[in-house]
Chains A and B, each alone.
Chain A
Amino acid sequence: MSEPTPPRPDLDFAPRERVKRQSYVESESAVVEGIDISGQWNRMFEPREITGYDLTYMDKLTALPGAESMAWCYQCAQCVPACPVDTAGGDYGPRKIYRRLQLGTDIFDHSDLWLCTTCQNCVRVCPKEVDMVQIMPAARAAAVLEGRSVPGELLEMFQKVAEYGNPMGESPRKRVRWTRGAGVEVRILPKDPAPVEVLWFVGDYYAYHPRGVDAAQAMARVLTRLGVEFGILGVDERCDGDSQRLAGEPGLFEELAEHNIAEFGKYEFETIVCSGPHAYNAIKNEYPKLGGEFPVQHYTQFMSARLETLAPLLTKPFARRVTFHDPCYLGRHNGDYGSPRRLLQAVPELRFQELFRCREQGYCCGGGGGGMWLDGYAAEHQVERLSENRVREAIQVGAEVLAVCCPYEVSRFEDAVKSTGNDGKLEVLDIVEILDACMEQG
Chain B
Amino acid sequence: MNVIVLMKRIPDLVEDLEVDGSGKALDAELLKLTLNEFDDHALEEALLLKEAAGGEVTAVALDGEEVDKMLFTALAKGADRALKIEGAGAVDGTVPLARVFAEVIRGRPFDLVLTGVQAADDRDGQLAPTVAALLDLPCVEVVTAVHPEDGKVSLHKEYSGGVVGEFEVDLPAVLGIQAARQTPRYAPVSKVRQIQQSATLETVAGAAGNGGGLTVVQMTPPETGAGAQMLSGVDELVALLESKGVLR
| Chain B residue with Cβ nearest A162 | B189
Q: Is the CB of B190 within 8 A of A147?
A: no
The interface residues of chain A lying within 8 Å CB-to-CB of B14 are 164, 169-171
Q: Is the CB of A251 within 8 A of B193?
A: yes
Known: A147-B185, A164-B14, A170-B14. A251 touches B192 (CB 8 A): yes
Distance (whole angstroms) from the CB of B213 to the closest CB of chain A: 29
Question: What's the Cα separation between A107 and B30 when bound, in Å?
Answer: 45
Question: What's the Cα separation between A170 and B191 when bound, in Å?
Answer: 24
Q: Is the CB of A152 within 8 A of B192?
A: no
The interface residues of chain A lying within 8 Å CB-to-CB of B185 are 147
Q: Is the CB of B15 within 8 A of A145?
A: no
Q: Is the CB of B186 within 8 A of A255?
A: no
Q: Is the CB of A150 within 8 A of B191?
A: no
The interface residues of chain A lying within 8 Å CB-to-CB of B32 are 171-173
Interface of A (DSSP majority class) = helix
Question: What's the Cα separation between A172 and B33 when bound, in Å?
Answer: 12
Q: Is the CB of A252 within 8 A of B189?
A: yes
Q: Is the CB of B15 within 8 A of A171?
A: yes
Distance (whole angstroms) from the CB of B202 to the closest CB of chain A: 24
| Interface residue count on the A side (C-beta < 8 Å) | 23
The interface residues of chain B lying within 8 Å CB-to-CB of A150 are 186
| Chain A residue with Cβ nearest B77 | A147
B165-200 vs A, CB cutoff 8 Å, 1 = contact: the mask equals 000000000000000000101101111110000000
B82-105 vs A, CB cutoff 8 Å, 1 = contact: the mask equals 000000000000000000000000
**A250 at interface, CB cutoff 8 A:** yes
The interface residues of chain A lying within 8 Å CB-to-CB of B16 are 171
Question: What's the Cα separation between A357 and B12 when bound, in Å?
Answer: 46
Q: Is the CB of A250 within 8 A of B15?
A: no
**B34 at interface, CB cutoff 8 A:** yes
Q: Is the CB of A251 within 8 A of B186?
A: no
Distance (whole angstroms) from the CB of A377 to the closest CB of chain B: 15
Q: Is the CB of A145 within 8 A of B34?
A: no
A142-165 contacts to B (CB < 8 Å): 144-145, 147, 150, 152, 155, 158-159, 162-164
Pick the contact of B190: A155, A159, A250 (CB < 8 A).
Answer: A250
Distance (whole angstroms) from the CB of B119 to the closest CB of chain A: 17
The interface residues of chain B lying within 8 Å CB-to-CB of A250 are 190
The interface residues of chain B lying within 8 Å CB-to-CB of A159 are 186
Q: Is the CB of A152 within 8 A of B183?
A: yes
Question: What's the Cα separation between A158 and B15 when bound, in Å?
Answer: 19
| Chain A residue with Cβ nearest B78 | A147
| Interface residue count on the B side (C-beta < 8 Å) | 15
| Chain B residue with Cβ nearest A150 | B186
Q: Is the CB of A249 within 8 A of B34?
A: no
Distance (whole angstroms) from the CB of B18 to the closest CB of chain A: 11
Q: Is the CB of B188 within 8 A of A144?
A: yes
Question: What's the Cα separation between A85 and B19 when bound, in Å?
Answer: 51
A266-319 contacts to B (CB < 8 Å): none
Question: What's the Cα separation between A152 and B185 when bound, in Å?
Answer: 10
| Chain A residue with Cβ nearest B16 | A171
Q: Is the CB of B30 within 8 A of A173?
A: yes
Distance (whole angstroms) from the CB of A176 to the closest CB of chain B: 14
Scoring A147, A150, A172, A255 by chain B CB atoms within 10 A of each residue's CB, the highest score goes to A147
Q: Is the CB of B191 within 8 A of A145?
A: yes
Question: What's the Cα separation between A150 and B186 when bound, in Å?
Answer: 10
| Chain A residue with Cβ nearest B13 | A171
Q: Is the CB of A251 within 8 A of B15?
A: no
| Chain B residue with Cβ nearest A252 | B189
Pick the contact of A163: B34, B183, B192, B193 (CB < 8 A).
Answer: B34
A226-256 vs B, CB cutoff 8 Å, 1 = contact: the mask equals 0000000000000000000000011110110
Q: Is the CB of A251 within 8 A of B190?
A: yes
Q: Is the CB of B191 within 8 A of A255?
A: no
The interface residues of chain A lying within 8 Å CB-to-CB of B190 are 141, 145, 249-252, 254
The interface residues of chain B lying within 8 Å CB-to-CB of A162 are 189
| Chain B residue with Cβ nearest A155 | B186
Question: What's the Cα separation between A159 and B186 when bound, in Å?
Answer: 7
Question: What's the Cα separation between A202 and B136 when bound, in Å?
Answer: 56
Question: What's the Cα separation between A158 and B187 when bound, in Å?
Answer: 10
Distance (whole angstroms) from the CB of A204 to the closest CB of chain B: 14
| Chain B residue with Cβ nearest A255 | B189
The interface residues of chain A lying within 8 Å CB-to-CB of B192 are 251
The interface residues of chain A lying within 8 Å CB-to-CB of B189 are 158, 162, 249, 251-252, 254-255
Q: Is the CB of B188 within 8 A of A145?
A: yes
Question: What's the Cα separation between A249 and B189 when bound, in Å?
Answer: 7
Distance (whole angstroms) from the CB of B150 to the closest CB of chain A: 29
The interface residues of chain A lying within 8 Å CB-to-CB of B186 are 144, 150, 155, 158-159
Question: What's the Cα separation between A150 and B188 when bound, in Å?
Answer: 12
Known: A249-B189, A251-B191. A173 touches B183 (CB 8 A): no
Scoring B14, B189, B193 by chain A CB atoms within 10 A of each residue's CB, the highest score goes to B189
Question: What's the Cα separation between A252 and B203 when bound, in Å?
Answer: 27
B1-44 contacts to A (CB < 8 Å): 14-16, 30, 32, 34
Question: What's the Cα separation between A155 and B190 when bound, in Å?
Answer: 14
Q: Is the CB of B34 within 8 A of A251?
A: no
Known: A163-B34, A172-B32. A249 touches B188 (CB 8 A): yes
Distance (whole angstroms) from the CB of A164 to the closest CB of chain B: 7
Question: What's the Cα separation between A172 and B34 when bound, in Å?
Answer: 13
Distance (whole angstroms) from the CB of A396 to the closest CB of chain B: 39
Q: Is the CB of B188 within 8 A of A251?
A: yes
A43-69 vs B, CB cutoff 8 Å, 1 = contact: the mask equals 000000000000000000000000000
Distance (whole angstroms) from the CB of B184 to the closest CB of chain A: 9
B144-172 vs A, CB cutoff 8 Å, 1 = contact: the mask equals 00000000000000000000000000000
Question: What's the Cα separation between A144 and B192 when bound, in Å?
Answer: 13
CB pairs A–B below 8 angstroms (28 shown) = A141-B188, A141-B190, A145-B188, A145-B190, A145-B191, A150-B186, A152-B183, A155-B186, A158-B186, A158-B188, A158-B189, A159-B186, A163-B34, A169-B14, A170-B14, A171-B14, A171-B15, A171-B16, A171-B32, A173-B30, A249-B190, A251-B188, A251-B189, A251-B191, A251-B193, A252-B189, A254-B190, A255-B189
Additional pairs, 8, CB under 8 Å, beyond known A171-B15, A171-B32, A254-B189? A145-B191, A159-B186, A163-B34, A170-B14, A171-B14, A249-B188, A251-B188, A254-B193
